[in-house]
Structure 1
């Protein structure tokens, strides 16, 4: 069986939530439910511990971090710390940050028309306190879904203090309010994320003066805007991601701000091959079927690039490289099936080789490797292919196939050669069941899968120098 293409109608796997909010619509009705105010950090801590105690996985879809990064994140949340994740591109930092929202309560009550999503039982602004005094139990409330309590901001050099913290709203001043009135403030992303999580991606890209503006929010949990004497006990968890290389290339996290993050956690690429394969299988949106062995080759190829001294490891080799590779291979298979009229699109090794031409630009090489980039990419792909084939076909006797390719008989394949054409062109092996044996090892159930399996076997014989190979103009000849 291969890795199947994803349909637009395929179900989206999510953690079950209560789809409808609670019925309480006023402060009096909320009190009748027995609701109690719970600070954000207590909410995250309680929900995390409850899931761990029940044996549930709070981090679905995160592979290769279970024994390293995730335990550190869990300890930070239990301690109530703000978190910064440091790691190279494509290590799952953003996905991990977004997973934090799954630890929030399904629904949260807030005072209606409150910019800061204030708790009716714990208001933080004078205006909301006055409303509670005036309306009493008739104060209207709204319910906020947990997805709305996670906010994300990509740090860019043009980000302003007003974007994150806030600024004076000239429209409110024009309405007649005096300039010193706190109600003339238009709050930024962080205050508006009160009682929720705000994530800042690529934090070092944030100008240092903007980082300074975050200091009070991070430590004192208050807001200072243009000299206003305003203290708001914000209840917000600040999390961030950063690439260590950014400290010298584009910017840095200023020391006082870095000190205010209670937890600084280093991420990494998957250590085990199975985790690398799981990431590709989970994230790739495929338009055709890919045999699992080709996904394995992509995973091995990615790992080989990360270990190569010719590749700039400070920039890293993102998991997106392998994901994009799988998607490109599937696209090549569908392209061939459409042009040649195949009933089913199944990827083969020839599609993997063509994908390198598209993926090469995603890799940054060391300065001394100019002119050798494609040679390095092709060499590492051959190495990854040989390792994968060896792990599956070790012990198989290929003598009948080697004998059949005696110099006068060849096998042709290529980007536009259909599976049927490839299988028809194979030499007759007499009573040998070698073709069926190879197909069975790779779980091939149809012509596309059989062609992919036997093509891999031929490549393995070439890489082990048992047969020759000639490639060019989209065609490959074994013999």
Structure 2
């Protein structure tokens, strides 16, 4: 195709002018007819969010995505550029990307009148037609819309009544494109008012100038729910002018969450050692986030970002790399003791309610990991009969479990456990298979203990686990472990499951974990 450089050549080519919204609508319909994915890399929204976005685009709506943090809102907004034409013609040198067929600014109107079909044009790529602004309290109307430029007026000897003294803001400079504002509620109300005219009349008024500059632009926004972002609100007139409000959500299944983490986390590395993270370990990491989204210790109005599991997977893989370098093992496999090294990915990404803050971020993080481990244990192994009140008190003291006030009161006073209401008795758990764990518990009851570390060479680590009678047999019986590395993971999982059921005590010290018998009245002796 011969390059087009002037308005006359553009007319001769038969170029058809259309608005940005018409352009996006037509390109979306074509993509859907071809069966193409418009929003690549977005998982879990196929039947919820994406159809709503499609309908909003087909309706030529401005859009706001409303959802908690880490729900791919910004990624979706940036993906909208895929629906723009590859290039569009603009008047060469225009600050606000005027169309050669309909110039709006004073400079372009003058050039069009003087040069006619010889008017020079340029081509704007789709990637240059998207701009975004993070809403912060210091954003001004001049930043978004524009203002008078006194330096420009002085240099060009123009009066303030001349339209050419205007310095355009980021919105008019995105004319004939898509402009996104992230965290809209953080924008001051008086600044939000400046957007009303653009959304309704599609024109721009700057600093009292009598001229109105038509804008061909798509405005899109993202925001957290207002009950969380207490820093500000979206004013009602602005909310009324945004045509479609679309709610986002977190992944609804472990499989979807894992696809997101696998896509986003930095896992393909140039490590000298062979590092393997099997599917059940990846699912366990995802379950930590799911447990956090259900925990009463976590502020659910804040949300638990998908970035938690992304960071956790990266830390887990890094700890495997570190162990390979320390021990010299050529192949490394995850251990449950590695999970203590992912706590930094959790503590900074969960907002806690008052009770959680009283317990501390690290204690809450360990509880979330414990809940995920208990769920994996229950899916593989027979249930374990939970220990009594005193053991629960010991667990609470060590920061791994939860007890209500009556449980603690009974434990410290020596009273018998109160009888639960009748409806509790009807919901009986599955019958425990205690015989499966008798030999293991008996060995620890004899005063034995084992110490594990994420820095042990595998041979030493496996030897310590193998010292527990029938531990390997139980792990092998209920799993498909075919290699010693995988078997060791499940052996440690059995010990962790017994700990979660309050049948074993676990001591965490630096990078080591010690399992030993849970002393029934240890907590009472401590109080005395």
Using structure 2 for the length normalisation, give the TM-score.
0.77
Structure 1 residue 390: deviation in Å? 3.6
Unpaired runs of 5+ residues, structure 1, are 1-20
Task: Give yes or no for the alignment of 1:103 onto 2:83.
Answer: yes
Task: Give yes or no for the alignment of 1:383 onto 2:420.
Answer: no
Structure 1 residue 377: deviation in Å? 3.0
Query: 1:12 aligns to what?
Result: none
* Residues 242, 431 of structure 1: alpha-carbon distance in 2 compared, 3 angstrom cutoff: closer
Task: Give yes or no for the alignment of 1:423 onto 2:462.
Answer: yes
Task: Look up the SS of the partner of 1:297 in the other structure.
Answer: helix
For each residue in 1:115-140, what CA deviation from the matched residue of structure 2 results, as whole angstroms up to 9, or x when unmatched? 11122223223422332333333332
Query: 2:510 aligns to what?
Result: 473
- The counterpart of 1:221, out of the listed 202, 222, 232, is 202
Distance 1:328 1:476 in 2: 19
Structure 1 residue 367: deviation in Å? 1.8
**Quick check: 1:294–1:349 contact (8 Å CA) kept in 2?**
no
Task: Give yes or no for the alignment of 1:264 onto 2:245.
Answer: yes
- The counterpart of 1:162, out of the listed 139, 142, 151, is 142
Task: Give yes or no for the alignment of 1:28 onto 2:4.
Answer: no
* Residues 431, 449 of structure 1: alpha-carbon distance in 2 compared, 3 angstrom cutoff: closer
For each residue in 1:262-316, what CA deviation from the matched residue of structure 2 results, as whole angstroms up to 9, or x when unmatched? 0112222122222222222221123565332222112111111111222111111
Query: 1:70 aligns to what?
Result: 50
Task: Give yes or no for the alignment of 1:306 onto 2:290.
Answer: no
Task: Look up the SS of the partner of 2:314 in the other structure.
Answer: helix
Query: 1:186 aligns to what?
Result: 167
Number of residue equivalences: 456
* Residues 368, 430 of structure 1: alpha-carbon distance in 2 compared, 3 angstrom cutoff: closer
Task: Look up the SS of the partner of 1:371 in the other structure.
Answer: helix
Distance 1:364 1:201 in 2: 21
Query: 1:85 aligns to what?
Result: 65
Structure 1 residue 219: deviation in Å? 0.9
Structure 1 residue 369: deviation in Å? 3.7
Structure 1 residue 467: deviation in Å? 6.5
Task: Give yes or no for the alignment of 1:459 onto 2:496.
Answer: yes
* Residues 346, 153 of structure 1: alpha-carbon distance in 2 compared, 3 angstrom cutoff: farther
Query: 1:119 aligns to what?
Result: 99
**Quick check: 1:215–1:257 contact (8 Å CA) kept in 2?**
yes
Task: Give yes or no for the alignment of 1:40 onto 2:17.
Answer: no
Choose 65-74 or 137-146, whichever is displaced more.
Answer: 137-146
Choose 432-441 or 229-238, whichever is displaced more.
Answer: 432-441
Query: 1:203 aligns to what?
Result: 184
Distance 2:57 2:4 in 1: 30
Distance 1:298 1:404 in 2: 27
Distance 1:421 1:126 in 2: 79
Unpaired runs of 5+ residues, structure 2, are 270-274, 384-432, 517-528
Distance 2:212 2:127 in 1: 27
Distance 2:239 2:231 in 1: 16
For each residue in 1:394-424, what CA deviation from the matched residue of structure 2 results, as whole angstroms up to 9, or x when unmatched? 79x9999975884587654212123343234
Distance 1:420 1:26 in 2: 75
- The counterpart of 2:110, out of the listed 130, 133, 136, is 130
Distance 1:335 1:429 in 2: 27
Task: Look up the SS of the partner of 2:293 in the other structure.
Answer: helix
RMSD: 3.2
Distance 2:149 2:188 in 1: 23
Structure 1 residue 41: deviation in Å? 0.4
Distance 2:298 2:205 in 1: 46
Query: 1:151 aligns to what?
Result: 131
* Residues 132, 393 of structure 1: alpha-carbon distance in 2 compared, 3 angstrom cutoff: farther
Structure 1 residue 197: deviation in Å? 0.6
- The counterpart of 1:292, out of the listed 258, 265, 279, is 279
- The counterpart of 1:142, out of the listed 122, 130, 133, is 122
* Residues 71, 454 of structure 1: alpha-carbon distance in 2 compared, 3 angstrom cutoff: same
For each residue in 1:51-83, what CA deviation from the matched residue of structure 2 results, as whole angstroms up to 9, or x when unmatched? 112222212211222222222111111111111
Choose 227-236 or 385-394, whichever is displaced more.
Answer: 385-394
**Quick check: 2:226–2:233 contact (8 Å CA) kept in 1?**
no
**Quick check: 1:64–1:271 contact (8 Å CA) kept in 2?**
yes
Structure 1 residue 166: deviation in Å? 0.5
Task: Look up the SS of the partner of 1:249 in the other structure.
Answer: coil
- The counterpart of 2:213, out of the listed 232, 251, 256, is 232
Which one has a bigger Cα radius of gyration? Answer: 2
Task: Give yes or no for the alignment of 1:253 onto 2:256.
Answer: no
Query: 1:368 aligns to what?
Result: 355
Choose 26-35 or 248-257, whichever is displaced more.
Answer: 26-35
Task: Look up the SS of the partner of 2:358 in the other structure.
Answer: coil
Structure 1 residue 240: deviation in Å? 0.8
Task: Give yes or no for the alignment of 1:348 onto 2:335.
Answer: yes
Task: Look up the SS of the partner of 1:186 in the other structure.
Answer: strand
Structure 1 residue 88: deviation in Å? 1.5
**Quick check: 2:226–2:232 contact (8 Å CA) kept in 1?**
no
Distance 1:179 1:170 in 2: 8
* Residues 457, 248 of structure 1: alpha-carbon distance in 2 compared, 3 angstrom cutoff: closer
Distance 1:438 1:50 in 2: 55
Task: Look up the SS of the partner of 1:307 in the other structure.
Answer: coil
For each residue in 1:354-380, what CA deviation from the matched residue of structure 2 results, as whole angstroms up to 9, or x when unmatched? 322552232222123443244443233
**Quick check: 2:65–2:222 contact (8 Å CA) kept in 1?**
yes
* Residues 393, 260 of structure 1: alpha-carbon distance in 2 compared, 3 angstrom cutoff: same
Structure 1 residue 27: deviation in Å? 2.6
